[in-house]
Structure 1
Amino acid sequence: MRTSISDVLLLSLLSTSAVLASPAPIITKGTSIPLTRRSVHKRSPTDWEEWAVRHRTYVTNKYGGTLDSKSKRASGMNLLTNQGADSDYYGSIAIGTPAVSYNVILDTGSSDLWLASSSCTTCATASGATTASASSNSIPLFDPSSSSTFKNLTTPFSIQYASGEASGSLGQDTVQMAGFQVTSQTFGVCDEANGVLTSPLSGLMGLAWQSLASSKATPFWQTLASSGQWDSGVMGFFLTRYGNDTHSSNEEPGGQFTMGYLNNSLYTGDIDYQGVVSNDVAYWTLPLSSLNVQGQSVSLPTSGQDMYAAIDTGTTLIGGPSDVVQSIYANIEGAQAGTGSWEGYWLYPCSTQVQSSLAFGGQSWSISPADFEHTPIDNTGETCVGAFFEVSTGSSTPGWIVGDAFLKNVYTSFRYSPAAVGFAQLASTATSQNGREGNAPSATIGSPAAVVSSSGGVSKMSGATSVRFSAISGVQVLAVAGALLGGMVLA
């Protein structure tokens, strides 16, 4: 059958009408990515003992403190592996040209970005393989030679952990995350990372301030925040809870991390902001103004570093000065100090529902009993480990490290200028996601709407608009295009 010119014109008009009638996307400079949380109650008591040593040693070293001689027996262990299996929250980034996606821990307690490289022979993998191609379950490793935009800076780089260090050299390349792109981003390319990583994690992205960075590089988020490309100079975190779900899978939906806006559907009321205390910002540090356990107020230091807390998404529990932590458990009947692998932790009857709360100069925020209870120490389920543990930090670092055991109970905002951390009450749309069955998000690569250079230059992608999305893949983009064209996908 022959097609007349009038038929072609009619088809063209119908297609145009379908496009115009389609709802327009919400345009914003803020974007978001889903987080993945790896489950907790799949471990044996022996596994948890090993985790306890690694966790406390890692946090102590991270904040420049020292351990007593008893704890130093386990100095060969490394927390990062166990944090990942317990309650680490990670998102995906893409690096290089062509871009390749990687899962990284999102850590507001440090400031460096680093990845395990393809030359790493000590990087742990789920299957015991040492290269990315050796097993489908192995850690994806960054191959500098596969990226046409990679630049080797030939500068040594190392990050110290409890059992050693992740080390290599610094490089520069294009980094994408949640719809934003930074060109010439400096990061560590590590060829030594023994025991540091487990599949599917390839590295870590620090979300604290530049002054804390071992590389001296401006962190990815800080380059974006200072570029003027965000709708608002904020990052938002919502973290899900699966720790009290004995049927959880190894990977579960973990919540949401946003850059440039806050997802107000996940919280109610106003954000209670408190200013970061230091003029030379490094950690996200707030004064800890009150602590309440089982209805009793716990006395807090009023001077020195022990009155301050670092808000740290990369730490599982809540570390604090020994004398104050001991006072916390004095309010819990049957609590006792841990010994052996549990040195520095405290134990209490699992049947006790511990009510606790923290305040940072403003509103007081409750911690769920489910989060105060970290894990039973044996198969009887009678004795549990509490979320607060004893830690000694360095003389110039905060005495408190407030991690995910607290942050799962609030919506958290990290504000660029003036530097502040804010908390808000979680909405029912957020709390209803705790323990919900669902598929964990997978790492995908989207098209960046804005490109920012590490030196501060900004450019728009040709023809691009900045649309709020969660790492849209190529297949999803094609599906969206089909919807906008009234179901017609043009090859």
Structure 2
Amino acid sequence: MTLLSLAIRFLVLLFVISEVVGAPQGKTPSAGQFIPLTRRNQPLRNVSDWAEYAKSLRDATIAKYSSRHVQKRGTGENLYADLSYSDFYGSLAVGTPPYSFDVLLDTGSSDMWIASSACQSMCAGTGNFDSTKSSTFKNLNKNFSVNYSKGYAAGTVGQDVVQMAGFKIPDQTFAVVTTTATNFLRNPVTGIFGLAWQSLAASGAMPFWQALARNGLWNEPLMAFQLTRFSNDSKAGDLEPGGSFTMGYVNESLYTGTIDYQDLPNGQASYWLQEITSMTVQGKPISLPSGSASYAAIDTGTTLVAGPAAGIAAIYAQIPGSQPGTGSWEGFYKYPCNTAVMVEISFGGPKWSVSPDDFVFSSTGPASNECYGAFYTITASGGTPSWIIGDTFLKNVYSVFRYNPPSVGFAALSEIALAMNGKAGGIPSATLGAISATSTLETSAAPTTRTSSAVVFVISAFFVTLVSFVEV
């Protein structure tokens, strides 16, 4: 092992310790907190499984952004896509006393939704919410229901204390689902935490993050994501450290250079919209329309990248040997696996690269040289964005979502952030995310705190690093 690689591993460990135990004053503001993310690894699949998975992802994205659900988009159209297939999630706590739940952090929707303990076998194994155990829960006597292309969810709307990353809203409105289609949820995720703007919320409620920012409870009016990559790691476990999510500040150790902010087009505070101003594939520019026809939703709750048929076709036209998929692969394109595809996207500032590792969605088998790309076709209508930019892109940048002025920022990942890709470590436990706060898990009578779980995470990271040194 080289001295440089040893130094990078040491810096990664220092980052974990500083984030969890507390960074020096000025680096992590008192009104800014971090929570670790967990990444759920994809299961092993055969050729037919991959085809069905691809179709499900495409159907789910269409359902999430379908014009048929414009008035209900934030309530759950995303759940079929996000809860079943998305990779990254964090934790929050609800009620008095507070109970912890794993939820997907979704910048593509605005409502909070968690499964109720009354959901019984359909939601089994997800640590569901029991409103009768919370002394502060209020039933708003408002029904909640949503249909999907392959499922449904229904329940009621209520209010309760919600805490995340050390911040608290005493009367947050959210949906408590009591029934879903069979096998609708995947353990351990219990629900979704919408991080888009209030205008998308079917409940009409102001999202948790927006209330914090509007009321000046953050040192800086922004939140940020760093996502890790395990898709090309054959040794990845079922659950792996997924990166971090910060509220109220940016972690300067995770990016390099400056953050390039681009305002939301025309101040449209709904989705986190950006206009794609240029795109190159294999170094060659592709033709894109200007204005709203190239608006893209920056969506942490979407796995891949979806776009209009003409734009997607133009991408694959630059890849020799590519062909459109058929059957379950409709909307996707296949291309030779030995081609390293490099895509660069600009939103009015620098060009941001998508790694060839992320451009590959799947291969059709070990004996084949046929891969399918992570960019696929959907049809936008009814004012929904033409492009959906998901984790395929976001794993390659440090992404920042700013309240005022409403904008999205990207920055290049630092060596410390890049060194986390494919590195095993302790899996973050469900906590409040505040050093001084205590969160009681439903499955245990013993309280857990961010400090105690953080120590486990640091010890695990140190053990992995130590083992690596010994192996060398």
Q: Same fold (TM over 0.5)?
A: yes
SS in 1 for 2:101: strand
Matched residue, 1:156: 143
Q: Which residues in structure 2 correspond to 1:443-454 (within 5 Å)? A: 443-445=430-432
TM-superposed CA distance for 1:122, in Å, is 5.9
- Structure 1 letter corresponding to 2:417: A
Unaligned runs of 5+ in 1: 1-22, 67-74, 125-129, 131-137, 451-469, 478-491
2:27 pairs with 1:49: no
Q: Give the stretch that moved more between structures: 401-410 or 49-58.
A: 49-58
Q: Could you tell me the TM-score, scaled by structure 1's length?
A: 0.80
Matched residue, 1:96: 95
Residues 327/426 of structure 1: CA separation in 2 closer, same or farther (3 Å cut)? same
Residues 392/28 of structure 1: CA separation in 2 closer, same or farther (3 Å cut)? same
Q: CA contact under 8 A between 1:79 and 1:162: conserved in structure 2?
A: no
State the alpha-carbon separation in 1 of the partners of residues 305 and 172 from structure 2. Answer: 32
Matched residue, 1:418: 405
Q: CA contact under 8 A between 2:262 and 2:409: conserved in structure 1?
A: yes
Matched residue, 2:187: 199
Q: Which one has the bigger helix percentage?
A: 2
Unaligned runs of 5+ in 2: 1-21, 69-76, 438-447, 456-472
Matched residue, 1:482: none
Q: Name the larger-Rg structure.
A: 1
Matched residue, 2:258: 270
- Structure 1 letter corresponding to 2:281: V
Q: CA contact under 8 A between 2:40 and 2:240: conserved in structure 1?
A: yes
TM-superposed CA distance for 1:348, in Å, is 0.9
2:294 pairs with 1:307: yes
2:270 pairs with 1:282: yes
Matched residue, 2:369: 382
2:357 pairs with 1:370: yes
TM-superposed CA distance for 1:349, in Å, is 1.1
Residues 345/82 of structure 1: CA separation in 2 closer, same or farther (3 Å cut)? farther
- Summarize deviations over 1:161-206 as a string: whole Å, max 9, x none: 3313322110000001011111110000001222331100000001
Residues 78/48 of structure 1: CA separation in 2 closer, same or farther (3 Å cut)? farther
Residues 41/151 of structure 1: CA separation in 2 closer, same or farther (3 Å cut)? closer
State the alpha-carbon separation in 2 of the partners of residues 261 and 287 from structure 1. Answer: 25
SS in 1 for 2:48: helix
Q: CA contact under 8 A between 1:377 and 1:384: conserved in structure 2?
A: yes
- Structure 2 letter corresponding to 1:48: W
SS in 2 for 1:324: helix
TM-superposed CA distance for 1:327, in Å, is 1.1
TM-superposed CA distance for 1:159, in Å, is 4.1
Equivalent residue in structure 1 for 2:246, among 258, 283, 296 = 258
Q: Percent of aligned positions with the same letter in both sequences?
A: 48
TM-superposed CA distance for 1:377, in Å, is 2.6
State the alpha-carbon separation in 1 of the partners of residues 453 and 195 from structure 2. Answer: 30
Equivalent residue in structure 1 for 2:450, among 441, 463, 472 = 472
Equivalent residue in structure 1 for 2:228, among 211, 226, 240 = 240
Matched residue, 2:284: 296
Matched residue, 2:463: none
SS in 2 for 1:184: strand
SS in 1 for 2:152: strand
Instruction: After the TM superposition, list the runs of 4 or more consecutive aligned residues in structure 1 that deviate by more than 4 angstroms.
Output: 446-450, 473-477
TM-superposed CA distance for 1:291, in Å, is 0.8
SS in 2 for 1:405: helix
TM-superposed CA distance for 1:307, in Å, is 1.2
Q: Could you tell me the TM-score, scaled by structure 2's length?
A: 0.83
SS in 1 for 2:312: helix
Matched residue, 1:32: 34
- Summarize deviations over 1:246-281 as a string: whole Å, max 9, x none: 221110000000000000100011100000114341
Matched residue, 1:116: 115
- Structure 1 letter corresponding to 2:241: P
TM-superposed CA distance for 1:310, in Å, is 0.4
Residues 207/236 of structure 1: CA separation in 2 closer, same or farther (3 Å cut)? same
- Structure 2 letter corresponding to 1:79: A
Length, aligned pairs only: 411
Q: CA contact under 8 A between 2:64 and 2:81: conserved in structure 1?
A: no
State the alpha-carbon separation in 2 of the partners of residues 377 and 306 from structure 1. Answer: 33
State the alpha-carbon separation in 2 of the partners of residues 251 and 182 from structure 1. Answer: 29
State the alpha-carbon separation in 1 of the partners of residues 259 and 83 from structure 2. Answer: 33
Residues 316/103 of structure 1: CA separation in 2 closer, same or farther (3 Å cut)? same
Matched residue, 2:16: none
SS in 1 for 2:119: coil
TM-superposed CA distance for 1:406, in Å, is 0.4
- Structure 2 letter corresponding to 1:435: G
State the alpha-carbon separation in 2 of the partners of residues 41 and 374 from structure 1. Answer: 14
2:212 pairs with 1:224: yes
Residues 215/278 of structure 1: CA separation in 2 closer, same or farther (3 Å cut)? farther
RMSD value over aligned CA atoms? 2.3
- Structure 2 letter corresponding to 1:339: T
Q: CA contact under 8 A between 1:41 and 1:243: conserved in structure 2?
A: no
State the alpha-carbon separation in 2 of the partners of residues 212 and 189 from structure 1. Answer: 18
